[in-house]
């Protein structure tokens, strides 16, 4: 234990003492202090004759602090030497100070740590990095692509690249994982030059976002390529925006926008590992459509991007307006298996264009996310653009024709029971691949014949809307018999202005467990399609519900019930008054 330590003997009158008799039996098992001290000696007795046979007693394990604290760098060790001729007196007794060596631990360089440790450190500082593969989760939840991979404080994060070479690589990999470039000729040319001089950054790109401006400054005295000043320089902008010094700025349609052919050529020649492509078409009144080719010709083809698996289209009306447009993009993305389509504003043309595309989806496209109306507000009556769509086609039937090739479907917009009826009719139970369905209902399309007492709004106090929502759920449950692979079914209505958000109707089926609205017809349809399925609990009784008035506690407004009887909505027909 003391090998390698320095011993220094200090002998003097103050260290010498005598005792009359010392035998092994007189050494107590509790020799030494019960608690460690720095000034008190810890004696060990050793006789000359029996120095091999005499073993110092050990402390019981239950006794705390069995060993002197290591903090005391000088341990006092006392030796008692017995005289062979005279047992009554001891010879010289010396106290030796044992000086423990100080272990010098050098600081290991941070670059010697494993890469996994560096990743964990940066995950702690910056947040866990999301995967760009964006594979479907086991629960099949709808995935909304956002700019999560782009860090919100990129300039501050870039300073961490100066810590070490290892961090430089990791930080650059995180920052360049998702890049966003303006879809103009000048910015595309700048990007080409940048990556030409920084070729090592090309392999980090996984998600590229191209956005096309819909406005351009009309004042030619201002350079359109000037970027917004940094945070430290924005104080200078107050001078130019003062009353004494103003610059009139007007806008016009952009003239420097790139074509999709130029954008795809740039991606094809620069990035080999990109797997997510986002195109943003923008939105404005009478927006210009993004051009596909510089010289339009029926036989023109876009450059092929074989590495892209996910295509995100925001402001899709400015990019895809017909099946021909989608066909050009589909040919350029031969390995596409996931498509996210987002429309900025509800338009009748959006429904009509998607109605021509959905029945002809390629077989390798298995994940579909469509958002046609996402304002999440109730409707007092059906708007005019929805009536135009209904007069030309039944969108629900056209969308159902895409079901045989899909595995995951997420949809936000107008829908009715005909969607599930048609999907069940054209699907083969032995070949169906649909596993998850997530629907956010804007309104349930139905006839609005006022003479027959039918309304067309989407308000929870309107029993006609609640009945139509119930019919939608019943049709969905009946289709489970033929859509045999479905594991998750979610149908919900969202009203952000509702006085009682917990009563917004919804239904969820997940692995034979159901929650949401309840009625006899729903239970009957569920039992006929999935006999093993059941509701997690019986219909919840709302606290004190009277006609047009509800006495609900605060927790009821925050938490939605797991099971709601459809008949409870009949008590709200005359309005809602919460007390």
Query: Average of pLDDT values for 372-397?
Result: 90
pLDDT at 382: 86
Burial (CB < 10 A; 0-12, 13-18, 19+), residue 315, is buried
pLDDT band at 138 (very low <50, low <70, confident <90, very high): very low
Q: Measured between alpha carbons, how far is 531 from 54 in angstroms, rounded to an integer?
A: 81
pLDDT digits (tens, 9 = 90+) for 46-85: 445 544 555 556 655 555 444 444 444 444 444 444 444 4
pLDDT band at 278 (very low <50, low <70, confident <90, very high): very high
Q: How confident is the model at residue 483 (pLDDT cuts 50, 70, 90)?
A: very high
Q: Give pLDDT tens digits for 530-568.
A: 999 999 988 866 655 555 555 555 555 567 889 989 988
Residues of the chain with pLDDT > 90: what percent?
43
What's the CA gap between 334 and 47, in Å, rounded? Answer: 91
CB count in 10 Å sphere of residue 540: 16
**pLDDT average, residue stretch 196-210:** 93
pLDDT at 164: 81
Residue 505 has pLDDT above 90, yes or no: yes
Q: What is the structure's pLDDT at 329? A: 96
The residue assigned the tokens 């309304």 is 455
Better-scored residue on pLDDT, 29 or 551: 551
SS (H, E, C) 35-58: CCCCCCCCCCCCCCCCCCCCCCCC
As a dihedral over the C-alpha atoms of residue 280, residue 283, residue 287, residue 288, rounded to 10 degrees, the angle is -10
Number of Cα atoms under 13 Å in the Cβ half of residue 501: 11
pLDDT digits (tens, 9 = 90+) for 369-383: 999 998 898 888 888
Which pLDDT score is estimated for 451?
Answer: 44
Q: How far apart are CA 171 and CA 456, in angstroms?
A: 54
**Contact partners, residue 100, CB within 8 Å, separation at least 6:** 5, 70, 73, 74, 75
pLDDT digits (tens, 9 = 90+) for 510-525: 989 999 999 999 999 9
Give the whole-number percent of the chain exceeding pLDDT 70.
64
Of the two residues 82 and 312, the one the predictor is more confident about is 312
Give burial (CB, 10 Å; 0-12/13-18/19+) of 166: middle
With a CB cutoff of 8 Å and minimum separation 6, the contacts of 328 are: 292, 300, 301, 302
Q: What's the rounded Cα separation, in Å, for the pair 313 and 296?
A: 22
Band (pLDDT 50/70/90 cuts) for residue 113 is confident
Average pLDDT across the chain, whole number: 76
Pairing state between β 436-444 and 488-493: parallel
Return the pLDDT at 8. 38
For position 33, what pLDDT does the model report?
Answer: 41
pLDDT band of 478, cuts 50, 70, 90? very high
Q: What is the pLDDT of residue 534?
A: 92
């Amino acid at each position: 234990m003391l090998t390698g330590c320095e011993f220094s003997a200090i002998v003097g009158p103050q260290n010498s003492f005598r005792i009359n008799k010392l035998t092994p039996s007189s050494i107590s098992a509790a020799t030494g202090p019960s608690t460690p001290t720095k000034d008190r000696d810890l004696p060990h007795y050793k006789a000359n004759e029996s120095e091999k046979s005499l073993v110092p007693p050990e402390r019981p394990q239950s006794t705390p602090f069995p060993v002197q604290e290591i903090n005391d760098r000088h341990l006092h060790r006392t030796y008692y030497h017995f005289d062979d001729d005279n047992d009554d007196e001891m010879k010289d007794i010396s106290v030796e100070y044992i000086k423990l060596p100080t272990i010098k631990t050098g600081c290991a360089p941070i670059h010697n740590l494993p890469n996994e440790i560096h990743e964990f450190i940066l995950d702690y500082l910056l947040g866990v990095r999301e995967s760009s593969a964006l594979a479907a989760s086991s629960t099949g939840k709808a995935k909304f692509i956002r700019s999560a991979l782009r860090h919100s404080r990129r300039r501050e994060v870039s300073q961490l690249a100066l810590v070490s070479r290892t961090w430089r690589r990791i930080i650059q990999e995180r920052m360049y994982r998702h890049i966003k470039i303006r879809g103009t000729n000048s910015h595309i040319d700048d990007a080409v030059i940048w990556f030409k001089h920084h070729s090592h950054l090309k392999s980090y790109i996984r998600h590229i976002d191209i956005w096309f401006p819909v406005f351009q400054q009309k004042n030619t005295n201002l350079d359109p390529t000037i970027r917004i000043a940094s945070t430290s320089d924005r104080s200078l902008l107050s001078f130019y925006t003062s009353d004494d010094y103003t610059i009139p700025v007007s806008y016009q349609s952009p003239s420097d926008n790139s074509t999709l052919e130029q954008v795809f050529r740039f991606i094809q020649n620069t990035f080999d590992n990109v797997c997510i492509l986002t195109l943003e078409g923008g939105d404005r009144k009478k927006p210009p459509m993004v051009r596909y080719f510089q010289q339009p010709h029926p036989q023109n083809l876009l450059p092929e991007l074989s590495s892209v698996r996910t295509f995100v289209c925001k402001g899709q009306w400015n990019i895809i307006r017909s099946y021909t447009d989608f066909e050009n993009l589909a040919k350029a993305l031969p390995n596409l298996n996931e498509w996210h389509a987002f429309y900025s504003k509800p338009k009748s043309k959006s429904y009509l264009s998607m109605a021509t595309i959905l029945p002809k989806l390629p077989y390798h496209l298995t994940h579909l996310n469509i958002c046609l109306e996402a304002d999440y507000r109730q409707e007092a009556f059906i708007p005019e653009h929805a009536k135009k769509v209904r007069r030309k086609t039944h969108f629900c039937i056209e969308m159902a024709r895409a079901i045989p090739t899909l595995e995951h479907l997420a949809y936000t917009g107008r829908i009715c029971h005909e969607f599930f009826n048609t999907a069940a009719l054209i699907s083969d139970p032995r070949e169906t691949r649909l596993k998850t369905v997530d629907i956010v209902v804007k309104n349930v399309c139905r006839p609005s014949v006022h003479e027959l007492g039918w309304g067309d709004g989407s308000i929870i106090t309107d029993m006609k809307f609640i009945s139509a929502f119930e019919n939608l759920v019943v049709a969905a449950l009946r289709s489970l018999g033929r859509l045999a692979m479905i594991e998750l079914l979610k149908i919900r209505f969202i009203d952000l202005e509702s006085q009682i958000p917990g009563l917004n109707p919804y239904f969820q089926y997940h692995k034979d467990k159901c929650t949401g609205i309840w009625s006899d017809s729903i239970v009957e349809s569920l039992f006929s399609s999935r006999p093993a399925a059941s509701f997690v609990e019986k219909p919840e009784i709302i606290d004190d519900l009277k006609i047009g008035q509800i006495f609900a506690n605060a927790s009821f407004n925050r938490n939605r019930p797991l099971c709601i009887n459809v008949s409870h909505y009949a008590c709200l027909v005359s309005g809602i008054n919460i007390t």
